[in-house]
Amino acid sequence: MAIGVFDSGVGGLTVHRTLVRRLPDADFIFLADQANVPYGGKTGEEIVDLTRQGCIRLFEEGASLVVLACNTAASIALRRLQQTWLPDYARELGRPVNILGLIVPTIEAATGLPWSHEVEHPAEKVETVDVIGVFSTPGTAASRVYEIEIDKRRQDVAVFSEACPTLARLIEHAAPREVLKQTIEGHVEALRRRIGRHPDRAILGCTHYEYVADLFAEALPPDTPLIHQPIAVADALERYLERHPQYDPGHGGTRRFLTTGEPGEQNALVAAFWGRPLRFEAA
């Protein structure tokens, strides 16, 4: 058995790298749906459908768990798949399988509270002391998942999202650094204007953005804390595996990289991030 990691493209590799470092003996299969990237501007139905197909592919390859290393898929498709499709699918397959997202761990990291800590009857917002800015795809921003879930848990935090419609695609195609820098500066400035000041902390709410975390850090005021999803997800996965021994992560330390797009070497941003070129097989 193995752990599957899914994204529309190379963004999920930023999460995958942290997961394999944390669980070096586990077997990992990464699937990038590059035939359909970016997901950020697609309809909800399309995203649910593509995410289901990606999960099926990974379960067929032997994954017991699939980590959706994609905010867009996790915020739009995860609950729907878990509630309406996965139980029947697991029964047909005849073995335990599950899909995990990355929104819950990110919200736990942002609120400093366990997911179960939901305020039953949220009081009025107190005077806000902490403003979190979320940079994400239009799909994730439209789901308002970060606003809704953080709001349920912390009355002293305000969340503002900034949708970045072109950024994942630019990163997927390794756009020149200057183009990435200008795009990011534009979004940081747009968010500052909307809030009336810079956020106190920021969530890079698209896994592609982790490749350019340094450019976000430069565009934001010095020392603005960034909430890094890869670490939050690795912490959550480790805890999950301890509590759920029925999901076998494998023990051979193998790594496979599959794509629905063009097989071969991934772009220079990926190679720089991983410290070596990564070659993908056709899915």
CA torsion 65→28→273→242, rounded to 10°? 50
Taken in order 32, 1, 68, 210, the sign of the CA dihedral is: negative
Question: Is 11 a residue that touches ligand DGL (CB under 6 A)?
Answer: yes
How far apart, in Å, are the Cα atoms of 22 and each of 97, 105, 218, 234?
A: 21, 16, 28, 7
Q: Choose between 163 and 250: whose C-beta lies nearer to ligand DGL.
A: 163
Subset of 182-221 contacting ligand DGL (CB under 6 A): 206-208
- Spatial distance between the Cα atoms of 266 and 249, rounded to a whole number of angstroms: 26
Q: Choose between 3 and 206: whose C-beta lies nearer to ligand DGL.
A: 206
Would you list the DSSP string of 32-77?
Answer: E-TTT---TTS-HHHHHHHHHHHHHHHHHTTEEEEEE--HHHHHHT
Closest CB 281 distance from ligand DGL, rounded Å: 20
- Spatial distance between the Cα atoms of 120 and 122, rounded to a whole number of angstroms: 6
Closest CB 130 distance from ligand DGL, rounded Å: 23
Element (H, E) at 273: helix 268-274
Do 37 and 168 meet the contact criterion of CB atoms below 8 Å apart? yes
Three-state DSSP at 201 gives: strand
Q: Please select the residue that binds ligand DGL; options are 23, 32, 70, 270, rule is CB under 6 A.
A: 70
Q: Choose between 187 and 248: whose C-beta lies nearer to ligand DGL.
A: 187
Q: Please select the residue that binds ligand DGL; options are 3, 4, 6, 7, rule is CB under 6 A.
A: 7
Query: Could you tell me how many residues of this chain bind ligand DGL (CB under 6 A)?
Result: 17
Compose the 30-69 pattern: x for residues touching ligand DGL by CB under 6 A, - for all others. -------xxxx-----------------------------
Q: N- to C-terminal Cα distance for the chain? A: 18
Closest CB 205 distance from ligand DGL, rounded Å: 7
Compose the 158-177 pattern: x for residues touching ligand DGL by CB under 6 A, - for all others. ----------x---------
Closest CB 172 distance from ligand DGL, rounded Å: 8
Subset of 72-101 contacting ligand DGL (CB under 6 A): 72
- The span of 70-78, 85-93, 142-150, 254-262 binding ligand DGL (CB under 6 A) equals 70-78
Three-state DSSP at 5 gives: strand
Closest CB 94 distance from ligand DGL, rounded Å: 31
Active site residues: 70, 206
Give the CA angle between residues 150, 102, 137 to the nearest 5°. 80
- Spatial distance between the Cα atoms of 220 and 202, rounded to a whole number of angstroms: 9
Positions that interact with ligand DGL (CB under 6 A): 7-9, 11, 37-40, 70-72, 137, 140, 168, 206-208
